Amino acid sequence: MELEVPGARIRSWRAGDQSSLARHADSRRVWLNVRDHFPHPYTVAHADAWLERIVGAEPQTQFAIEVEGEAAGGIGLMLQEDVARYSAELGYWLGEAHWGRGLMTQVVRRFTDYVFASLELQRIFALVFEWNPGSRRVLEKAGYTFEGRLRHAVVKDGHILDQFVYAAIRADVVAPPQ
């Protein structure tokens, strides 16, 4: 899989991404905004373990964000189950070196279009910690709708935090047949 946006490419992870992944992912500012299973500090061994698990896995739900020729971030889906099986949670991160250039907004917009075109999903949602206005802004700019606030939903770095729910549904982005 390969999708182009100006300044970045969304593509499958490769075994050779190990060192750039470890370098860009080793960031406290990234870690503070993602789940605790994202390691910190992020070592080459962590990158190896991630790539071992992800490269070639089916269905393919996790992708690298390539910037300036190297993997500098990730975007992926967590497919939901049972009655929520037409729904998926979106997650993403970008190495700090590339923040503030509009890259993630374009990546999220392009990836969302790709997902609705290629999978039978009705809903893609994202959960943002209350201290992360940048990610809220990304989702708003990418066409996601703010749906609500989950009070005291998570603990991160010892702090109890609210989470903001954003979602795109198929009907928002895919025009009905004429």
Ligand X SMILES: CC(C)(COP(=O)(O)OP(=O)(O)OC[C@H]1O[C@@H](n2cnc3c(N)ncnc32)[C@H](O)[C@@H]1OP(=O)(O)O)[C@@H](O)C(=O)NCCC(=O)NCCS
How far apart are CB 12 and ligand X at their closest, in Å? 20
Beta bridge partners of 165: 127, 148
CA dihedral 102, 6, 145, 121 (to 10 degrees): -140
Q: Is the CB of residue 167 less than 8 Å from the CB of residue 145?
A: yes
How far apart are CB 133 and ligand X at their closest, in Å? 4
The residues binding ligand X (CB under 6 A) are 30, 33-34, 92-94, 99-105, 126, 128, 132-135, 137-138
d(CA 32, CA 154): 12
**Taking the alpha carbons of 167, 126, 110, 88 in that order, is the dihedral positive or negative?**
negative
How far apart are CB 17 and ligand X at their closest, in Å? 17
How far apart are CB 104 and ligand X at their closest, in Å? 3
80 or 105: CB nearest ligand X = 105
97 or 178: CB nearest ligand X = 97
137 or 159: CB nearest ligand X = 137
100 or 177: CB nearest ligand X = 100
70 or 177: CB nearest ligand X = 70
How far apart are CB 37 and ligand X at their closest, in Å? 13
Cα separations in angstroms, 72 against 83, 115, 119, 161: 35, 21, 25, 27
DSSP 115-171: HHHHS--SEEEEEEETT-HHHHHHHHHTT-EEEEEEEEEEEETTEEEEEEEEEEEHH
